[in-house]
Amino acid sequence: MMPKLLLQAAAAVADRRWYGSGGRRGYLPLRHPPHVAPGRFTACLLAVAAVTTTFALALTLHRPDLSSAAAYAASPRGGGGAGYAVVINTWKRYDLLRRSVAHYSGCGGVDAVHVVWSEPEEPTEELRGSVLNCSDGGGAGVRFVINAEDSLNNRFRPIQGLTTDAIFSVDDDLIVPCSTLRFAFAVWQSAPSAMVGFVPRMHWLADPGSNAKEYRYGSWWSVWWTGTYSMVLSKASFFHRQYLDLYTNRMLPSIRDYVNENRNCEDIAMSFLVANVTGSPPIWVQGGHTEVPFRDVTAGRIFEIGSSGISSLKGHDLQRSKCLNTFSAMYGHMPLVATRVKAVDSRTSWFW
């Protein structure tokens, strides 16, 4: 039984038109029109049941052969798979990694935990043992995904052996309580083509009255003040595993090159990719977010157990704004769609 949901607005999958050319046919998702302002919102709905959507990934940046695109159009509906895989991105924070693995491997619904490893040296046997032992006692299995090079793009590389459609991508320093994670998974199952996550962000036109389309990155305070967002960061979000293939094998290589050169914005690149495919906004799941010690995790709230990372560096927002403008230029338009969607678990909320 799916938990009772409050979806103030449903993330609709883009309309798709059946078309033919030269005897070859397929689905073509309609892109978000460039002239639509980011502040134009999806119509508000109240839903108590699941919203059924079709997951059709026919259009990518390379406009691939439609025979290949047809395979994406035939993808499972409604979020197949018995559970979800947790994919933890980590970098030289071994205590945090152990804590994260211990937590997520014990959550119900987690099929497996995959640790994305991009350090120059492979993990020591001691570290492997201590991490793998975190799942002792009937928890989900844990495995390392070893990458040959250090790249932020590694977190979106296809993973061999996945048995679920749903992926929960998370950084090693962020803990989402199991009950909150279970609710977010239910939301994703109702809209499996969307990104569903806990950390919303926004993009803004620097000068709405100008013909020049220059964008600014809006952090959490921008979202809090306006109630509007157009991205949920991959540091804590659900998405379909087929986006891993699209990101690694179909997205413009120049975008991945930019991420490698600047060591930033792989999460924005994924948000662009999903929005370009679906023409729809992501879904923000209310969960609370604060930085406190790991031992203080309580039901319903999300906690950071580390204090260092790329986002703590000086000039972070300026670099993120540069990413927005660079990626929109590469796409030829701004695919991100702004919304006021928020999913709330009514069992734990006083206000609907």
**What domains lie within the chain, and their CATH numbers?**
83-293+301-348 (3.90.550.10)
What lies within 8 Å, CB to CB, of 336 at 6+ separation is: 32, 38, 203, 230, 231, 271, 272, 275, 281
Residues 6+ apart with CB under 8 A from 40: 338
Check 165, 171, 173, 267 and give the catalytic one.
267
* CA pair distance 4, 136, nearest whole angstrom: 32
- The pLDDT score that the predictor gives to residue 82 is 77
Q: What type of residue sits at position 95?
A: D
267 is catalytic: yes
Q: Which residues of the chain have pLDDT under 50?
A: 1-74, 76-79, 289-300
Place of tokens 């030269």: 22
pTM confidence score: 0.76
Distance CA 61, CA 50 (A): 30
Rounded CA-CA distance 141/263 in Å is: 30
How confident is the model at residue 207, as a pLDDT? 83
Contact 11, 283 (CB under 8 A): yes
pLDDT confidence of residue 249: 98
pLDDT at 180: 94
Phi–psi pair at 26, nearest 5 degrees: -175, 180
